[in-house]
Amino acid sequence: MRLKAYAPWVIDGPINGELFTTYIVKVLAPTLSPGDIVVLECVPISGNRLSDRNAL
């Protein structure tokens, strides 16, 4: 099993739905391999978690 934690993206200020989705698409998704598991905590950052899930 491969366990890794990253903090590759730092923003100045609070995150919103647009920034969160950008992070998923531009930063997180390219690092994933088939079979990797992504856990997204149910924090109402974006207000529309379905669009973030579809981004993966």
- Of 3, 14, 22, nearest to 43 (Cα)? 14
5 in a structural domain: no
Which residues form the domain of 29? 17-55
Q: What is the pLDDT of residue 49?
A: 53
pLDDT tens per residue, range 1-56 = 667 766 677 888 888 888 888 888 888 888 889 988 887 776 565 455 545 556 65
Q: What is the pLDDT of residue 14?
A: 85
50 in a structural domain: yes
10 in a structural domain: no
Q: What is the pLDDT of residue 21?
A: 83
12 in a structural domain: no
Give the count of domains, the chain: 1
4 in a structural domain: no
24 in a structural domain: yes
30 in a structural domain: yes
9: left (phi over 0), alpha (psi -120 to 50) or beta: beta
Q: Which long-range contacts (CB under 8 A, 24 or more apart) does 10-14 make?
A: none
Q: What is the pLDDT of residue 44?
A: 60
